[in-house]
């Protein structure tokens, strides 16, 4: 397998992974709408890499540690670290809006 085949497999796996996740506007998780669309998981928020700079700048995600930020192909995933962190706050807002 060459590098390009590996890249295609990773891209396919990432697309399969996010297929069933809610894709929401950043406002639905309490962020500035300029952050773009986001995918919401149980313990993470994900965005395509082309939105990542806006998510960091307008959403305050630039302060999230490297350990909480993972990139797979074109998808950047921000993991919950502990209660009260930026990702956890956004997920809580999303759950509150879903329940309302």
Query: Mean pLDDT, consecutive 10-residue segments, the chain of 100 residues?
Result: 90 90 96 97 95 96 92 92 85 91
Is the Cα torsion angle 67, 72, 74, 80 positive or negative in sign? negative
CA 39 – CA 37 distance, rounded (Å): 7
Q: Which two tokens stand for residue 92?
A: 């809580």
Distance, CA of 61 to CA of 63 (rounded, Å): 5
What is the DSSP-derived secondary structure letter of residue 24? E
Distance of alpha carbon 49 from alpha carbon 24, whole angstroms? 16
What pTM value is reported for the model? Answer: 0.89
């Amino acid at each position: 397998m060459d590098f390009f085949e590996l890249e295609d497999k990773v891209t396919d796996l990432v697309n399969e992974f996010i297929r069933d996740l809610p894709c929401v506007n950043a406002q639905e998780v309490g962020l500035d709408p300029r952050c773009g669309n986001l995918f919401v998981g149980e313990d993470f928020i994900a965005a395509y890499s082309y939105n990542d700079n806006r998510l960091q700048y307008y959403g305050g995600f630039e302060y999230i540690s490297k350990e909480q930020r993972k990139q797979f192909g074109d998808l950047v995933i921000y993991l919950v670290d502990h209660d009260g962190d930026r990702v956890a706050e956004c997920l809580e807002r999303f759950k509150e809006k879903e329940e309302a």
